[in-house]
Structure 1
Amino acid sequence: MVLLVAAEFLVSAAGLVVEIVAGRMLAPYVGMSLYSWTAVIAVVLAGLTIGHWVGGRLAEREERAIALGIAAALALAAVATALALPLLQALSGPILGSAGTSVLGLVVLAAVLFLVPSFMVGVPAPALTKIAIDRAPHAAGRALGRMYAAGALGAIAGTLLAGYLFISWLGTARTLAVVAAVDAGLALVFLGYAGRRRGRTAVAILVAMALSAAAAGLASAKSPCTVESDYYCIRSIDITGDVGTEARLMVLDHLGHGINVRDDPRRLVTPYVATIDHLRRLRFGAHPVSAFFIGGGAYTLPRAWTEGPSPDLVTVAEIDPAVTEIAVSDFWLDPEKMAIHHHDARRVLSNSGGDFDIVVGDAFTDIAVPPHLVTKEFFALVAERLNDGGVYMMNLVDRMERLHALAAVHRTLKEIFPVVEVWVEAEDFSAGGRTTFVLLAARTPTDEARVVEPSTGRIFARIPPDRVARLVAEHDPPVLTDDYAPIDRLMGALSW
């Protein structure tokens, strides 16, 4: 009975570890969002459902035949788990290239990678439970409860271990290799228990393949991430050849977040970052300001604004310490020049006692948007933390053919601020498609409506207020609140 309970615990734990790891594995390719997690959870549950049904059929056989079936299922689970990462690297391009980051593309990619492992780890549960009941016919209820409890406890343990230990310390590739090894080890145990039966050789070959695949995966495990933190897949990429001088690009999950130039912190390559910088100078000139940044990333603007003889007083709320660490090691950040808090930005801003000249919202990461940072209640908090002449600036990514998210955030900001402006870099705007806007909220309008950057000729312009007003009226979006903020849907991040 101990073997049955332990096996049910380990199989359930392995299944949930794969589910948690799946979301992180997909992040470098499709981001980590409500959509990606929905696809992963749906696929894993579908696999478990099919597995339980097949396991019920298996449970109708005699005990040693059941054991052989369990061994075969676990061996296949081990092989499929060990192959998940190389399959992702080989197939993500063709699948997403044909389907894009649509709902269908996400579900297909998740299914190709994780349906079979989930299916196979779903098979043992009913079969193991049947053996447990057969061994205790006069205590069938207790045996049933014991097995259900072991499965639930294993699922809890797998979730906690994956989320708080394995990904941070092993990374996704090695975690999958360990899960494959556990599945293969359990397959060996049940293969031995099955005795000499027809099909035993085939299952033994599967187990050998699984152990070999797990060992190879453990030996050659290579994640696309420079660092896998509790929050992001972080990549540090040398783009010196593109920029013309030593520079690096930080990628969080699948999105480039910031570009830093080593010898010139004031050189701002990314258009929306340059837009925010020009707006800061239009509003405050060369005078030092106090600024609060929601999100650090590559710390491009905080680094720029703390350079020179009259540095700004900068506070940054970056939730992920690993992002700050790699910004220091790879992106030439001097953390001593600013105050950095590794907590949620809303919490840090709420606990902040001072007033700021500028609050910068830089937490929009393509399809993954923290909804609690785009609500009326949050914007009210921002307004409370700004001084009389203060401004709030935030980047927002939206599709030019929709602009529902832009309209909704604009309307929500107008609930709090008398003036809300929409700025964009001209070339980015004219390119169409997915565009990054900068929204500026304040008590008074900006004096200029257009800025030309002398060194590059780039043009940064304010979209005429009447045009924005027409857009908002046409879309009639909801005011975003803590209770209702459907920002993912409004962004139209994914289509069918």
Structure 2
Amino acid sequence: PMVLEGVVGAGLDERAGPLLATTILLAPPTIPLGMVSPYAVKLLSSVRSRVGSSAGDVYSLSTAGSIAGTFLTVFVLLPNLDVRTVILAGGASLMAVSALHLSKASKAITAALFLMVFTPAGFVVQSITATGGEVIYVKETLYNSMVVVRQDEIVTMYLNGLPHSAASVNDPYRLVFAYTRFFELGPALNPNASRVLFVGGGGFSGPKYFIKTYPHIQVDVVELDPDVVEAAKKFFMVPETDRLRVFIDDGRMFLQRAEAVYDVVVLDAYAKTYVPFHLMTLEFYELVKKRMSGDGVLVVNLIASLTGDTSEIFWTAYKTVGMVFERLYVFKASEYSSGTVQNLILAACVSSSCSLEDAVERVRDGWLAERVENSLWTVVPSLDEYPLLTDGYAPVERMINPVTGKPYSVELEGYSGSLPTLLYTGSNALSFAAVFIALTVWFLSLLWRNL
């Protein structure tokens, strides 16, 4: 928390800020760890002629350990433990191993420092509260830091600190976020739609609305994070029906294996701070089109702006989608200015015959029918300056950086209040930082004396 506040307060840009924070947090442990292998080679090389073989032995073990550590972390530790526990357990293991051959006095000091850091009295206990709301669920999943908050009748799911989905406990099928209402453009542009695919489930706002509003439609939802699905079923009143099927899978892998043909595909898997590049490339959109009917409609929700330095990722996506689909429509899902980071909706038709004018007459949501005309954005910049995203070239991380650093607000519809703000607090952050610095200095002094 101290590092985060300091870096944010320094006013650095989106590249220098993370670099500085990473250096402050990781340099102290990384530098001593980098000294281990050369020091081990020195200890093993009592005879000059054995320097080469000793170095080979040490670095081969180091390489094997790196490979084992990578697989252990990805397949065992992270799926079963939260990130904080993994980091602390790794630190504890390093301290324990390094203390094996110390003197009795040094071992006593090590044990004391160990207890100070890893017992509740010295551990950074992070609590999460919400202004104006009650935190009812917290979970560190394999892919997200998830928090569910209830305020009055509204239940909101936050992923990685940002609002992702919301529902009303009084009317579970009502669409709370304004941008989710634009999903209905799919069946409106394709009146014969009978099968819909959502890539990204979240709180299932769109799927629930489709299930209720269109009794003839079958809805499939692909969600990567099983814990998000579990939370949605527990807190967001997802109906149990044969017309709603849920698949725990990556969206692209699912489409690669799918045999079904979809009339509408809704891409709602993009966040403000992270965009999966493999769901934004030319090859991906070609795959989507391959799984769609001749009158199919693609609806994409992206968080960006229409003008300014935070618009690049949207117009790059627009250019890429336009290489595959015949007709494109752009909508501002809120009443904010064009330079504000907000939810932007891109509707793309497989056929050039789809008509927005006819679609407005078919929309069953009166709010959306009135909003479509004013939300339609027709000013398209020159696309020559934007790259075409492919599997071989997709610099979406660079494009998302300006968006990450800007404020983002999601517009609510039919609810007079505002969403709660999450507050993260640590009770012993200062003492932990002090002990961490002391540990680093002490370890370096021990290492220096033994060289």
TM-score range, shorter chain: 0.7 to 0.9
Gaps of 5+ in 2: 129-136, 406-451
Change (3 A) 1:271 1:440: same
1:341 corresponds to which residue? Answer: 247
CA distance in 2, matches of 1:452, 1:425: 17
Task: Measure how far apart 1:334 and its partner are.
Answer: 3.4
CA distance in 1, matches of 2:2, 2:241: 43
CA distance in 2, matches of 1:342, 1:357: 21
Instruction: Please identify which structure carries the higher helix content.
Output: 1
1:34 corresponds to which residue? Answer: none
2:198 corresponds to which residue? Answer: 293
2:287 corresponds to which residue? Answer: 381
Report which stretch shifted further, 310-319 or 455-464.
Answer: 455-464
Aligned to 1:293, the other structure's residue is in SS state: strand
Aligned mate of 2:218, from 296, 302, 313? 313
1:477 aligned to 2:381? no
Contact 2:186 2:299 in 1 (8 A): no
1:216 aligned to 2:124? no
Aligned to 2:295, the other structure's residue is in SS state: strand
CA distance in 1, matches of 2:70, 2:6: 31
CA distance in 1, matches of 2:314, 2:332: 12
2:64 corresponds to which residue? Answer: 153
1:487 aligned to 2:407? no
CA distance in 2, matches of 1:441, 1:276: 12
Task: Measure how far apart 1:371 and its partner are.
Answer: 1.4
2:97 corresponds to which residue? Answer: 186
Change (3 A) 1:121 1:401: same
Task: Measure how far apart 1:439 and its partner are.
Answer: 0.3
1:274 corresponds to which residue? Answer: 181
Task: Measure how far apart 1:162 and its partner are.
Answer: 2.0
Aligned to 1:439, the other structure's residue is in SS state: strand
Deviations 1:85-115 (A, max 9, x none): xxxx333234224436711111122222222
1:324 corresponds to which residue? Answer: 229
Change (3 A) 1:309 1:479: closer
2:133 corresponds to which residue? Answer: none
Q: Partner amino acid for 1:236?
A: V
Contact 2:186 2:298 in 1 (8 A): no
2:425 corresponds to which residue? Answer: none
CA distance in 2, matches of 1:348, 1:452: 30
1:446 aligned to 2:360? no
Task: Measure how far apart 1:393 and its partner are.
Answer: 0.5
Contact 1:288 1:310 in 2 (8 A): no
CA distance in 2, matches of 1:101, 1:312: 46
Report which stretch shifted further, 144-153 or 485-494.
Answer: 485-494
2:26 corresponds to which residue? Answer: 114
1:124 corresponds to which residue? Answer: 36
Aligned mate of 2:74, from 163, 169, 187? 163
The RMSD of aligned alpha carbons is: 3.2
Change (3 A) 1:266 1:482: same
Q: Partner amino acid for 2:223?
A: E
Q: Partner amino acid for 1:107?
A: L
1:226 aligned to 2:133? no
Deviations 1:119-170 (A, max 9, x none): 2222322112211112x65543332211111212222222222222222222
Aligned to 2:357, the other structure's residue is in SS state: coil
Contact 2:286 2:324 in 1 (8 A): yes
Deviations 1:324-372 (A, max 9, x none): 1221222222354422222221121122222212000111111311112
Aligned to 1:226, the other structure's residue is in SS state: strand
Change (3 A) 1:472 1:487: farther
Contact 1:398 1:435 in 2 (8 A): yes
2:379 corresponds to which residue? Answer: 467
Report which stretch shifted further, 167-176 or 410-419.
Answer: 167-176
CA distance in 1, matches of 2:156, 2:168: 9
Change (3 A) 1:421 1:100: farther
Indicate the structure whose relative CO is greater, using CA pairs within 8 Å and at least 6 residues apart.
Answer: 2
CA distance in 2, matches of 1:310, 1:487: 38
Change (3 A) 1:456 1:121: same
2:409 corresponds to which residue? Answer: none
1:398 corresponds to which residue? Answer: 304
CA distance in 1, matches of 2:165, 2:210: 15
Change (3 A) 1:289 1:122: same
1:103 corresponds to which residue? Answer: 15
Aligned to 2:207, the other structure's residue is in SS state: helix
Task: Measure how far apart 1:301 and its partner are.
Answer: 0.8
2:447 corresponds to which residue? Answer: none
Change (3 A) 1:222 1:158: farther
CA distance in 2, matches of 1:448, 1:423: 17
2:420 corresponds to which residue? Answer: none
Contact 1:425 1:458 in 2 (8 A): no
Task: Measure how far apart 1:420 and its partner are.
Answer: 0.6
Task: Measure how far apart 1:493 and its partner are.
Answer: 3.8
1:409 aligned to 2:317? yes
Contact 1:173 1:222 in 2 (8 A): no
CA distance in 2, matches of 1:295, 1:230: 15
Task: Measure how far apart 1:381 and its partner are.
Answer: 1.8
Task: Measure how far apart 1:317 and its partner are.
Answer: 1.4
Aligned mate of 2:327, from 400, 419, 430? 419
Counting only pairs closer than 5 Å after superposition, residues 15-94 of structure 1 correspond to structure 2 as 89-94=1-6
Identical counterparts, % of pairs: 24
CA distance in 2, matches of 1:253, 1:111: 22
Contact 2:223 2:247 in 1 (8 A): yes
Aligned residues: 389
Contact 1:180 1:214 in 2 (8 A): no
Gaps of 5+ in 1: 1-88
CA distance in 2, matches of 1:124, 1:216: 30
Change (3 A) 1:397 1:472: farther
Contact 1:177 1:215 in 2 (8 A): no
Please report the TM-score for the alignment, with normalisation by the length of structure 2. Answer: 0.76
